[in-house]
Amino acid sequence: MGGEYMYLIIVGNGQMGRIIKGCAEEDKAFDKIEIVEPLDNKWPEEKADVIIDFSHHSAIKDIYEYCRVKGGNIPVVIGTTGQDETDEEVIKQLEKICPVERKSNFSRGIFMMNKLAEKAKDLIKEEQKYSWDISIEEIHHTKKKDSPSGTAKTLCSILGEPWENVAAIRMGNVFGEHKIYLAAEDEVIEISHRAYSKKIFALGAIEVAKKMMSLK
Ligand SMILES: NC(=O)c1ccc[n+]([C@@H]2O[C@H](COP(=O)([O-])OP(=O)(O)OC[C@H]3O[C@@H](n4cnc5c(N)ncnc54)[C@H](O)[C@@H]3O)[C@@H](O)[C@H]2O)c1
C-alpha cells in the first residue's frame, strides 16, 4: 500500500457484494473497485491487487482460473460459505498460487464468540461433577442458501459437535443469530451473538484485505 495504485475486485453482486462495494468506496485504500458477478462470468483484463469473494461456492473455479491466468500472487479473501468437496480442492489449489484468507464470519463479535466457545470447551473438560450438554442454534433470513451456516459449522468444530445437531432456523430477514446452549441438570447457560447489520461482515473482510495487501 502506501500511495500505490490498488485495484479491488469484489466477486458477487448480491447483498454482501454491494455492501462491501459501498464500504470500500468510503475507504481510501482502494483506487478502483469493481464487482464481478459470477453468473455473468465477465472477468476484467486488468490484474487485481486483491479479491474479496462473497458470492456462491461454485464461483471459486472461475476465481482460481482468473488468478492463474494473471500469474497468481493476488490476495484472496473468501467470505463465501457452503463449499463442497470439489470446491475445497479448488481452494487448496488456489492457496498454492495466492495468499488466501477465509472465514465463515468476518464480524468481531463472532471472533469473540469463537474464543468464548474455546474457553467453554476447556471449562467443560475440567468439570468433574457435572456433565454439560452442548447445543448450537442458528437463525438466518429465508434466502440463505447453505444450512447450517458456516459460522455454526465453525462453532461445531471448536466444540466437537456434529453439524447434524445444529438447529438451523430460516425466517424473515434475520441477518444472523448464533447461540450456544450449555445445559446441566436444572440450569442452562447461553452464549449468543446477534448481527444487526451486514456491514459488520463487510468491514471485517475489508480489514483483512488491507492487511493482506500490505504484506504483498
Ligand atoms: N463470512 C462472512 O462473514 C459472511 C457474512 C455474510 C454472508 N456470507 C456469505 O456470503 C455469500 C453471499 O451472501 P449474500 O448475502 O450476498 O447472498 P446473495 O444471495 O445476496 O448473493 C449471492 C451471490 O452469488 C451469486 N450466485 C447465486 N447462485 C450462483 C451460482 N449458482 N453460481 C455462481 N454465482 C451464483 C449471485 O448472483 C450473487 O452475486 C454467502 O455464501 C453467504 O453465506 C459470509
Residue 140 annotated among the catalytic residues of the structure: yes
pLDDT at 41: 87
Nearest CA-CA partner of 113 in 152, 163, 164: 152
Contact 113, 193 (CB under 8 A): yes
Ligand 1 residue neighbourhood (C-beta within 6 Å)? 12-17, 37-39, 54-56, 58-59, 79-82, 103-106, 143, 146, 201
Residue 144 annotated among the catalytic residues of the structure: yes
Q: With a cut of 50, which residues of the chain have pLDDT below it? A: none
pLDDT at 128: 76
Tell me, in angstroms, the distance from the centre of ligand 1 to residue 16's CA.
Answer: 7
pTM, entire model? 0.90
Catalytic residue among 140, 153, 178, 179: 140
| Strands of 187-194's sheet in order across | 167-170, 133-140, 177-184, 187-194
Nearest CA-CA partner of 8 in 216, 214, 213: 213
Tell me, in angstroms, the distance from the centre of ligand 1 to residue 109's CA.
Answer: 21
Q: In testing the pocket of ligand 1, which one of 11, 13, 16 has its CB within 8 Å of the most ligand atoms? A: 16
180 secondary structure, DSSP code: E
Nearest CA-CA partner of 17 in 1, 40, 28, 165: 40
187 secondary structure, DSSP code: E
pLDDT at 129: 81
pLDDT at 65: 98
pLDDT at 162: 97
